[in-house]
Each structure stands twice: as C-alpha cells, then as structure tokens.
Amino acid sequence: MDTDRYYSPHPAWDQPISPHHQEGDSPMSAHHTPEQLQRVDDLIRRNDIRFIRLQFSDIVGIAKHITIPIGHWETATQHGIWFDGSSVEGFARIAESDMYLVPDLNTFMVIPWEMDLSTARVICDVYTPEGVPFEGDPRYVLKRQLKRAAEMGLDYQVGPELEFFLFKRHANGDIQPLQPHDQAGYFDVSTDLAHNVRRQMVDALQAMGITVEASHHEVAIGQSEIDFRYDNALRTADNTITFRLTVKGVAQKNGLHCTFMPKPIAGISGSGMHVHQSLWNIAEGSTAMYDADNEYGLSSLALSFIAGQLAHAKALTGIIAPLVNSYKRLVPGYEAPVYISWGRTNRSALIRIPRISQGRKRSTRVELRCPDPSANPYLAFAAMLAAGLDGIEKRMAPPTPAEEDLYHVDGMRAGLDTLPGDLGEAMEELQKNEVIQAALGQHVFDRYVEAKTQEWNDYRIYVTQWELDRYLTLY
C-alpha cells in the first residue's frame, strides 16, 4: 500500500514533528481537502473497498465502530453519519442522543487482516446537531489540551510502550483457565513461540501507517512488547487505539487471545504502558526540554513540567491506571512505580529521565512509568499534558530526585508519598483535583467518575475465589 505521501517516515526522538491539525472550523471544511479525498478515492479503487468502519472511542477507551457500505461513503464525507449516542459509555442521555461522525481522512487505512472482506477504517470526530464538537468525545478532550499547549508555543509529543499477554484458546474456544502462549522470558529467542505472531503484528501495524521500532518478548511468560515511533499526542493516541485493535486482530487470526489487561496473572509482572514525553517550541522547531547547564540536561520548563505531573500524580492515576485490576500491578516488587518521585537511573521512580546520548540533546524527554495499556489514550495524554502545563504556568519546582532503588527501600521512611492504592482512592483523588477536572471537561469528568465509581462499587461487593479459598473452611 502506497501511503508515503500521507504518512511520511517518522523521525527519531531528536527530530521535531509538526503538530496535528487542530482547527476549529466547520467539520467538513476543516477535515476534507481535495488532496485528501483523492488519496482516499485511490485507496478505495485500488483495494476494491466494499465496507468502511467509522471509528470513535467511548470515555473508557473502547473503540466503537459504525460500518457503512461503500455506497454511503460520499454521504459520510459531505454530511457526516448520524448515530445514537445514548448507549455509548459516557456519551449522552436519551434526550440528547443525536450526534454525527465526521471522518478524519488522514486516518483512512485499509484493514490488512481483513483483506478478504475488503474493509477500510477511518477515525472520526463526534459532533452535535449544532455542528460543534461534542464535549464528551475523548479525541476532542485531547485536542483542547493540545490547543492550550499551542497557545503557549508548545507541541506535545509522546511515545508509549505497550505490553500485552498472549493466551492460548482451549478446544471449546474458551480462554480460561489461562494458559500463556509460551514459557519464555525477557528477550528470549529459542523458547519465544510468539516471535512469528509478533512479526505478523508488525507487518499489520506498518500497513496501518504505524512505524514500529522494535518488538520482543517481555519479562513474564506469554508477555510481549512492540514499540512504535513517537509523534504528536493526537496522532499517537489514534495509533494507540489502532495498535490495540490490530494486535488483537492478528492474535485472533492465529487462534490466540491478546489482552492489555494490566495484571492477568497473579505473582508475575503485569503489563504497563510507559510513556515518553517531550515538548517542542513550535516557532523554532526545537526542543523545549534541554539545558546544557543542568545536571540532568533539563530546561527549567522541563523541570516545571515534571513538577506538575508529580503534583497531580494522585489524580492522574485514576485516568492512566483506570481499572480495578490496574492496582494489582501498582504494588512494590514488580517494577511498577508506587512512590511519587523522579530520577535518572532509577527505574522504580514514577518519572524517569532517560540518558541523553552525545550530540543528541534534541532527544531529551521524560518517561512516565505508571500508565497501563488499558487507559483511554486520548484522556490519558490530555490529563498528563494538563498536569505538566499547570506546573509550567505556576513555575513549580520538582522535589529532590530519588536515585536509590525504591523497590528495595521503604519510600515512606524516605519521605515519599505514594500513588492511590485502589480505584476507589484514585477516584477520590480525581474528584478533589480541579486541574484534571478542567482538562477533562465537566461532561467527561462527571461521567467518567460515575462509571469508575460504579466499577469500584461492583468490585467491592463481589466475593472472589481467593476469599472462598482462604476463609470458607477456616471460619
């Protein structure tokens, strides 16, 4: 598939990337140029496309689709496609359910693992009947924060590292009891049965316009990681949703089940989504993160960005670690950060500063290590950016770096605060934080807290097998 014209090769971390289109014009004029329409028409003809999936996201990050036959594509591009939003998680009540989808033609791609069905996918923005962006659309929430950064002269670019598990399916098609696809460990080769499956995943991801940098087996049995190039946060959020769908689709074709659940197996490492972040000066196309005179090579702006994320870490956690299960991963001893801290050599810190190679000052970045791959990437990146920008606006200074290994140190004795211990506590912290609330917007904030509080309440009253095994015969 020839996509070079629209998806040019992404540069390395030390190269700037122009911000994503963020105009606030009318939906059709803002998104559709003659060149874009021609490119899509060429793809449709070349691949004999018969169906197009119009994709968007609910507030918890689950991809939603409306599939239209090719005969309705012109209607979609000229007028949008109407749908009922009342049954979509966090969208609208029955009385305000009418909405329509506007395709972002830059995201139009042929689905490579469904070639026999001649299907394409395009990511859409959600609009109200009045022709304005819907405030409950997670993609719009991120666009709003990126616009705020742009007004400060900054572009926010991120590179997530998603980990996932592959499980075998039993003869009857069930996944449970869980049986990991292999018994390999970190970077193993001979016992890594997922090697061939990952190669198929990489091919499919690159066909979808995602530039893959590396893939390998992870620490836990049945666990893998595939890393793709960083980009502007909106494009990266789109790519993250695409990544999850693509990897799951390829796994299914191989008779496997892929999960991004943070902690599917007790007693072994869970799946994280470390996020590398950098800020760029839009006018100069230069990094806003570097200062040669600083011990860590960080500018005052970068230090304030770090300080903001640390200051709002507790409230952030409910967005970037959004499941009851997320907090089974965020415990000491499994290489997931618990203490609110930062440092360079310390991978146990919440925020790590990767070392800068000689002559590569433009690669200066910070790595947030507590997110997991179940997070809604649009809301996660929006909240992370809002926290950092608050630190910049208020000229916050970060605390003293923590360079000791916190996996084997009592962080509380060291004076370090901790992340919330469960989803209920995370929601309490989120509800107290005006900065993250403003970033999400009142609509998303209210419905997100409502959904996650219900999830926590459902879990609290559920009797687990562990409790039965532990107590049933003892008491």
Closest CA to 444 of 327, 268, 319, 349: 319
Closest CA to 460 of 324, 345, 328: 324
Residue 139 to residue 240: CA distance in whole angstroms: 12
Going by the DSSP 8-state scheme, the letter that residue 404 receives in this structure is: S
CB–CB of 131/26 below 8 Å?
yes
For 213, the enclosing helix (H) or strand (E) is strand 212-217
| H-type alpha helices, 161-312 | 195-207, 233-253, 300-311
Residue 385 to residue 435: CA distance in whole angstroms: 11
Residue 404 to residue 419: CA distance in whole angstroms: 18
Residue 154 to residue 347: CA distance in whole angstroms: 27
Known catalytic residues are: 84, 161, 163, 218, 225, 274, 347, 367, 369
Residue 66 to residue 82: CA distance in whole angstroms: 10
84 Cβ neighbours under 8 A, 6+ residues apart = 97, 98, 99
CB–CB of 267/158 below 8 Å?
no
By three-state DSSP, how is residue 288 classified? coil
Where b means 16+ CB within 10 Å and e means fewer, 118-138 reads bbbbbbbbbbbeeeebbebbb
Total Cβ atoms within 10 A of residue 82:
14
Residue 84 to residue 94: CA distance in whole angstroms: 9
Total Cβ atoms within 10 A of residue 21:
13
